[in-house]
A and B are shown apart, each in its own frame.
Chain A
């Protein structure tokens, strides 16, 4: 059986890629994509710890399902915001949306 560390390495890699995407991409949609990657890496973590731990305990799977649901809702709201911002400001570049400062 593939050891747990492989899954964890994959999860960490995926998380780092997502984080890098979030921090480096200018496009707001791409930032959202990065967030999705980070969420999914968390899911991998949850599921793999479930699989390698006590299988009778369903907490890992349940958590990952909750994360799916939250991610879906978040994507819906996030994309709606992006579209709204685009309509008003005619841009989806995150650096240009800087009204929330002093």
Chain B
């Protein structure tokens, strides 16, 4: 099998699994998850083979694995469908394959496979627990998710979308994968559709990302109309790029390349939850706790960043676009970090941290740090997946405690936890690794290397971005330590926490696997100055070769290194010092309303967009247009028709048809009958006489006619 054929086959198993589960196996839970995990495993296997082959092929940057066929005929050419694996998509494929497989495995445990059916569980609601009668006394245990198979169908479709997007060689199929994931995120966020909050969150996510998608589609259309192709390889040819860079557009004085870049970037702003379209991501935590959260945090949102990294040659043509990108990224990084410090929901902290980290990547990209952005994308995917799955594990353990004790506490509020390190050791250690990686704990963790590279590359040129990112990094370390301290360290604050239990192996194995990557993924990109040239900066060379010119390695500079060390360690230390003594939310001095309420972004949007939309819908569309104009026209037509009908009835139907023809016919027949009645005397001789007379008459007539010669 050629490598190209194998690449074509990678996205197929999940979509087949989706249809298999939906059509055939949805009644059988064990079969459904076997099909889904089997499919994910096949994709993983294919991905790994392709990755290993890509590693062994040194000229991959110049001659990537590429294969495409004609797909949609246009007037005189074809839109193509095809696959492309260059160094960038190879590394993205690597982490997607791993995280997807881990999510699938983890979902089995998270949705309580093997547990009894719940007492009052209904489809569309989270499982509420089942009563188990054991050793003579009753107690509650977690119950299996009622829509277990459906979940696996959805995440299979999701995996298909992500793999399609990563392996695509053109913007069109990339967009198709992008939209499939948009649909899946809607379905998964609203998975517990009987919960109003989940429904609202699903709609919000769909609508918010849609805004970005529309602009992205505009960008794609612009690319197509400007270049006549959507294939990455063809767009990135020097003469095409040169044309795009020189053609001016009427908007903001940007070049065509700048405008296309900006439009595509707005798509990323929606998908990767950048300010100002970030609002959907925290609400997306309404989905099935860790898994959907992770999909929305580690995998799908990476797609947005992947797309802009992929389009970097185009994006980097216009410095104004790059500046916008850099500033939006940096602002988002700091903005989301400030919100994260005041959140109490374990998942929401991670959601904002995700927004913040994605802002990092965007800022790096906007500063021209192509490799650093890709590097952080990979490391972040691993450690954020680890953290989300870890938080899901914590919640799962807490829910077990809540069910066991019957205590009514929020299983996601960190102030209800504390001291879980003893109860859930595997979750604790893996979460600690993930948290340290997120904070950028020096040398050991992946996050340090990628973050340090971003800080180092922004330091040369974008000093404002550098300072913002450094501040954000400090806050990141701070809230991560706050989270770890509140969740795992200190005293057990509730009875539920006291009864929390380590989660089953299906959940802890993914945690262990991902924690290996959370540490190890950083070592492939250690800068050469660190090891004095002993270890090559493999990641830089490999991914950098995706570009026409490999970007030069970032020179050693003490200031960003020191900054990165200080903010990481300082943040972690301060976080621990402050929060080790805090037991309740009241003692927490950072519960500032403005941060707690996310800078009132939802309220501002509500005031700026939602209220006016409602007003517009209610007053203009409904009352004025629908009720007034359209209904008015309809009523007028109805009235005119009724009038015409009434006129016809009065002046034609009633007198002519009814009275003249209808009544007249009856009257005529009646009158005739009455007048003919005397003939029927019943006397035989009269009849005979009449017959005789008529016979004579007819005979006379014939005689006359014969005589006159009229008949012969």
Contacts and interface: CB of A to CB of B under 8 A. Distances in A.
B673 to A, nearest CB: 9
A100 B682 contact: yes
B688 interface: yes
Contacts of B681: 98, 101
B309 to A, nearest CB: 106
Contacts of B684: 31, 94, 97
B682 A23 contact: no
Interface in A82-102: 94-95, 97-102
Contacts of A98: 681-683
A78 to B, nearest CB: 12
B682 A19 contact: no
Nearest to A96: B683
Contacts of A101: 680-682
Contact of A22 (B680, B683, B688): B688
Contacts of A100: 682
Interface in B651-708: 677, 680-685, 688-689, 692
Contacts of B682: 98-101
Contacts of A102: 677, 680
Interface in A48-95: 94-95
Indicate the size class of the contact surface on chain B. Answer: 10 to 19
Interface string B105-118: 00000000000000
Contacts of B688: 22-23
A23 B680 contact: no
A35 to B, nearest CB: 10
A19 B677 CA distance: 26
Interface residues of A, number: 12
A22 B685 contact: yes
A94 B681 CA distance: 12
Nearest to B689: A23
A31 B685 contact: yes
A97 B687 CA distance: 13
Contacts of A22: 685, 688
Contacts, number: 25
A95 B684 CA distance: 7
Interface string B276-309: 0000000000000000000000000000000000
A24 to B, nearest CB: 8
Nearest to A100: B682
Nearest to A24: B685
Contacts of A19: 692
Interface in B106-142: none
Nearest to A102: B680
Contacts of A31: 684-685
Contact of A95 (B677, B680, B685, B692): B685
B677 A23 contact: no
Nearest to A95: B683
B388 to A, nearest CB: 102
Interface string A1-35: 00000000000000000010011000000010000
Contacts of B683: 94-95, 98
A102 B677 CA distance: 7
Contacts of B680: 101-102
Nearest to A28: B684
A31 B685 CA distance: 9
B670 to A, nearest CB: 14
A22 B686 CA distance: 11
Contact of A94 (B677, B685, B692): B685
A51 to B, nearest CB: 27
Interface in B32-91: none
Nearest to A97: B684
Contacts of B685: 22-23, 31, 94-95
A97 B106 CA distance: 110
A101 to B, nearest CB: 3
Contacts of A95: 683, 685
A29 B404 CA distance: 120
A100 B680 CA distance: 8
A73 to B, nearest CB: 20
A31 B687 CA distance: 14
A95 B687 CA distance: 11
A99 B681 CA distance: 9
A54 B564 CA distance: 149
A21 to B, nearest CB: 11
Contacts of B692: 19, 23
Nearest to B687: A100
B208 to A, nearest CB: 90
A95 B686 CA distance: 9
A31 B680 CA distance: 20
Nearest to A22: B688
A39 to B, nearest CB: 15
A41 to B, nearest CB: 15
A100 B685 CA distance: 13
Nearest to B676: A102
A91 to B, nearest CB: 13
A94 B684 CA distance: 7
A100 B682 CA distance: 5
B672 to A, nearest CB: 14
A87 B453 CA distance: 136
B50 to A, nearest CB: 105
A102 B683 CA distance: 12
B687 to A, nearest CB: 9
Interface string B492-516: 0000000000000000000000000
Nearest to B681: A101
Contacts of A94: 683-685
A101 B684 CA distance: 10
Contacts of A23: 685, 688-689, 692
B690 to A, nearest CB: 11
14 contacts: A22-B688, A23-B688, A23-B692, A31-B685, A95-B685, A97-B684, A98-B681, A98-B682, A98-B683, A99-B682, A101-B680, A101-B681, A101-B682, A102-B680
Given A22-B688, A94-B684, 11 more contacts: A22-B685, A23-B685, A23-B689, A23-B692, A31-B684, A31-B685, A97-B684, A98-B681, A100-B682, A101-B680, A101-B682
Complex A-B, nearest 7 residue pairs according to Cβ-Cβ distance, in ascending order: A101-B682, A98-B682, A101-B680, A102-B680, A100-B682, A98-B683, A95-B683
